[in-house]
Structure 1
Amino acid sequence: MAGRVSRRTRLNGEGTVTLRKDGRWEAAAYVPTSAGTMKRVRKYGRTRAEAFVELVKLQAQAGQGIPVADRSWTVGTYLAYWLEHVVTPRRRPKTVIAYEGAVRLYLVPLLGAKRLEKLTPRDVRAMLDRCRKLCLCCARKLDGRRPEEDQCCSRGKCCERRLSMRMVQLVHAVLRNALQNAVREELVTRNVAKLVQIEGPDYARGKGLTPEQARQLLAVVRKDRLYALYALALLLGLRKGELLGLHWSDLDLERGELTVSQNLQRIKGELVVALPKTRYSKRTIPLPAPVVAALRQRQQDQQAERESCGSEWLDTGFVFTTAVGSPFDPRNLNRHWYATRKRAGLDAFRFHDLRHSFVSLLLDLGVPPHVVREIAGHSDLQVTIGIYAHASAAEKRKALTSLSELIK
């Protein structure tokens, strides 16, 4: 009869289930891809029923409008693509370096050959377990760069140096961020790294200077050419890179304001002016009178240095420079700090502890945390409270004594 359809005729997109020569069953169907094209995708099973279940899943995914990847990705090839096209254009240089190191040293060696769409939570968990047990010398291939007497695993005696918990957390975070982008680009349907639990970041609590120690430090550097830098660190809480990246154009000494708009970092052996740490780091801060006075003195000192150098002066516009006007290297600031803290009797403190001191002292004065957060440029109020706001033993004793007296 004309127009009659054979019982054996299949509709477009219906798919097939066939037996292969190797004994496996193959399910195949044309489905939409993330590139907007149609692609014949094959799934396999040990039995016809298993293959049919795979076919049903494939068609259900297509029916929900979820495309398949337009090409076959391994974890390694996808991470290379992600670093080049997603991370590098959008992230700060130091972040790019950290992500690239995690990918090159740990993720690619341990997961790189896996098919992206077949990556499972079990694979991620096993990778993290191996990271925790990994010898740093092997992971970073350090033995090849060492004299034979200093080599470790290549001589059969492991040094037992392992990755820190913070580094394991970073590796997991990098994979999680990469897979989340793969979900957005519809290359995978779920982020399996999110399904693996890992200990949260354990931020070390810094040590803050007491008011007496802060006064002692400023007294020690009072006649130093970097006195204003230490005053800004203690009284405004600026980060090291923000201090060294400060331009005179960022200051309005008449109105008493400072704008943080960039920082200076050493990246791959070169000094680079980069954007602040986060979008919250870009901020305008009022200047207290002592800081204005210190900056005016810095202006005068720099003018004297300019006149002394004459034509050899490098006009970079930075507030804190070398004696010839070039940018002040963060490594040289570290060296200056080591000598200064020794003179001040503060050997146990890091330079970053000056920022910690600034936040802690403001909180101790009863300044509302949200105000402290905006001055310090923290991205999250929890950072201000969780890392910097810790009570002293005397304050705890006073609080518990007050409660005891109230109940009594």
Structure 2
Amino acid sequence: MTTLAFIEPDEPEEPKKPRKTQPKSKPKTTKRNVNGEGNIRQRPNGLYEGRAYVITTDGREVRKSVYGKTWEEVHQKLTKLQADTMSGKRVASSTQTVAEYLDYWLEEHARHRVRDTTFASYKWLITKYLIPLFGKKKLTTLRPNDVRRGLFQLQQVCQCCAQGKEKAREERAAVERKKREGRPARKNAKAIVGARCCALVPQVCCRSTVSDGTVRYLHRLLRAVLQDAVSEDEILTENIAKKIRLNHKYRPKFKAWSRAKATKFLEFIREDRLNALYAVALSLGLRRGEALGLGWSDVDLDNDLIRVNQALHRVDGALKLGDVKTDGSTRLIAVPKPLVSALRVHRAAQAQAQAGNSWQDGGYVFSTMIGTRSSRGT
């Protein structure tokens, strides 16, 4: 007997719903920043960075970054950077250190502008103070607070200790003592003086700090150097030394001698070999270098005149004749009668000294005892 199985018919499939087709969106377009417009992004450390193209002092176009804690802060900095670029302001590009530029400035700028004595002064100040203070810093990263702090440090730190002056003095004294070992003592031999403070044992500090006048001079010198870096060499965009204001302490003014004091002084040194030198300085107001640089060819005792057109200077340890301080310092001066008499007596005394075999006639009015030039007239 055959069993028929009931087979349920398959359920009819539900008709598939037509897929909703989304309208094709337009491809996203990214805005490209024009050169110089800049952009801002947040860095992984949380800070914001803005970047824009700027022009360097050597004419190159480079991208520069500015940073800040907020988007608004960076946007403000970036806007200022872009405005400076549009106005023609350039960004410093030099990688020189301050020491390298100071050396360059001495040879390329100062040497051709100033007298030898002024150049020697600049070189000494730069070597002793400016290079030790700021030499290792990049010229473009030198900030006003660096200069202010460095100059303040000079007035707080003993320079004997900082520069090892006493140690060098003691070393020189030790060499002299060794030379005298085994020799009989001379009657008028000078005592060998070595260290007087920092290099003593136990150590005694003399507190030899830099004076206010030297600090002001250093500030003026640095300001002149940085100004050339801005205007002449176009390495910097601003002179940061101009932003510094130093405390100008009271400086007592020099008080000139009265006529009575000057007369009393000249009476006291009447028998001195160089009494005429002091008389010239007091009567005519000549600088020491101008008086010591006078030659007899500059003195006209018949017409009571003295022409000042040169001066004696010490440069790098040697005495040299050079120009007077300014163009206005070259002058023709009338000589009073008492001074003419003093100069005649001085010339007669010098003529007697010329009779000696050791006399070296340099033609100087005020010379050493053998006729050579001298910074002290002795």
Structure 1 residues 151 and 213, CA, compared in 2 at 3 Å: closer, same or farther?
closer
C-alpha distance in 1, partners of 2:103/2:52?
30
> Shift of residue 321 of structure 1?
1.7
SS at structure 2 position matched to 1:259: strand
C-alpha distance in 1, partners of 2:277/2:133?
45
The structure 1 residue matched to 2:320, chosen from 272, 285, 297, is 272
The structure 2 residue matched to 1:31, chosen from 55, 59, 75, is 55
> 2:290 maps to which residue?
242
SS at structure 2 position matched to 1:187: coil
Q: Which amino acid aligns with 2:222?
A: L
> 2:209 maps to which residue?
162
Structure 1 residues 39 and 113, CA, compared in 2 at 3 Å: closer, same or farther?
farther
> Shift of residue 127 of structure 1?
1.8
Residue 67 of structure 2 is aligned to residue 45 of structure 1: yes
5+ residue gaps, structure 1, are 1-5, 334-408
The CA RMSD measured in Å over matched residues stands at 3.4
How many residues in Structure 1 have an aligned counterpart in Structure 2?
A: 323
Structure 1 residues 249 and 53, CA, compared in 2 at 3 Å: closer, same or farther?
farther
> 1:139 maps to which residue?
162
Residue 257 of structure 2 is aligned to residue 257 of structure 1: no
SS at structure 2 position matched to 1:197: coil
SS at structure 2 position matched to 1:133: coil
Q: Is the 8 A contact 1:259 1:285 kept in 2?
A: yes
The structure 2 residue matched to 1:300, chosen from 348, 359, 362, is 348
Q: Is the 8 A contact 1:258 1:286 kept in 2?
A: yes
> Shift of residue 26 of structure 1?
6.0
Structure 1 residues 201 and 281, CA, compared in 2 at 3 Å: closer, same or farther?
farther
C-alpha distance in 2, partners of 1:317/1:41?
67
Residue 224 of structure 2 is aligned to residue 177 of structure 1: yes
> 1:314 maps to which residue?
360
SS at structure 2 position matched to 1:272: strand
> Shift of residue 45 of structure 1?
1.6
SS at structure 2 position matched to 1:110: helix
1:215-243 Cα deviation digits (max 9, x unpaired): 23333444544232122112111121111
Structure 1 residues 275 and 52, CA, compared in 2 at 3 Å: closer, same or farther?
farther
C-alpha distance in 2, partners of 1:14/1:276?
57
> Shift of residue 54 of structure 1?
4.7
Q: Which amino acid aligns with 2:329?
A: S
Structure 1 residues 41 and 98, CA, compared in 2 at 3 Å: closer, same or farther?
farther
C-alpha distance in 1, partners of 2:346/2:204?
55
C-alpha distance in 2, partners of 1:165/1:294?
41
C-alpha distance in 2, partners of 1:84/1:191?
20
> 1:324 maps to which residue?
370
Percent of paired sites with the same residue = 37
1:142-168 Cα deviation digits (max 9, x unpaired): 243254985628977644332222222
Q: Is the 8 A contact 2:52 2:82 kept in 1?
A: no
Residue 287 of structure 2 is aligned to residue 287 of structure 1: no
> 2:149 maps to which residue?
126
SS at structure 2 position matched to 1:71: coil
Structure 1 residues 290 and 139, CA, compared in 2 at 3 Å: closer, same or farther?
same
Residue 175 of structure 2 is aligned to residue 152 of structure 1: no
Q: Which amino acid aligns with 2:53?
A: A
Q: Is the 8 A contact 2:51 2:66 kept in 1?
A: yes
Within 5 Å, give how 1:360-379 maps onto structure 2: none
Looking at CA atoms only, which structure, 1 or 2, has the larger radius of gyration?
2
> Shift of residue 126 of structure 1?
1.7
C-alpha distance in 1, partners of 2:66/2:303?
72
> 2:25 maps to which residue?
none
Q: Is the 8 A contact 1:316 1:325 kept in 2?
A: yes
Q: Is the 8 A contact 1:105 1:139 kept in 2?
A: no
Structure 1 residues 121 and 287, CA, compared in 2 at 3 Å: closer, same or farther?
same
C-alpha distance in 1, partners of 2:298/2:63?
58
C-alpha distance in 2, partners of 1:103/1:83?
9
> Shift of residue 7 of structure 1?
6.8
Q: Is the 8 A contact 1:27 1:51 kept in 2?
A: no
C-alpha distance in 1, partners of 2:369/2:91?
60
Residue 217 of structure 2 is aligned to residue 195 of structure 1: no
Structure 1 residues 176 and 95, CA, compared in 2 at 3 Å: closer, same or farther?
same
The structure carrying a bigger helix percent of its residues is 1
> 1:373 maps to which residue?
none
C-alpha distance in 1, partners of 2:164/2:132?
12
Within 5 Å, give how 1:391-406 maps onto structure 2: none
Q: Is the 8 A contact 1:260 1:282 kept in 2?
A: yes
Structure 1 residues 240 and 11, CA, compared in 2 at 3 Å: closer, same or farther?
same
> Shift of residue 208 of structure 1?
4.0
C-alpha distance in 1, partners of 2:272/2:196?
43
C-alpha distance in 1, partners of 2:36/2:163?
49
> Shift of residue 137 of structure 1?
1.7
Q: Which amino acid aligns with 2:208?
A: R
Q: What is the TM-score of this pair, normalised by structure 1? A: 0.67
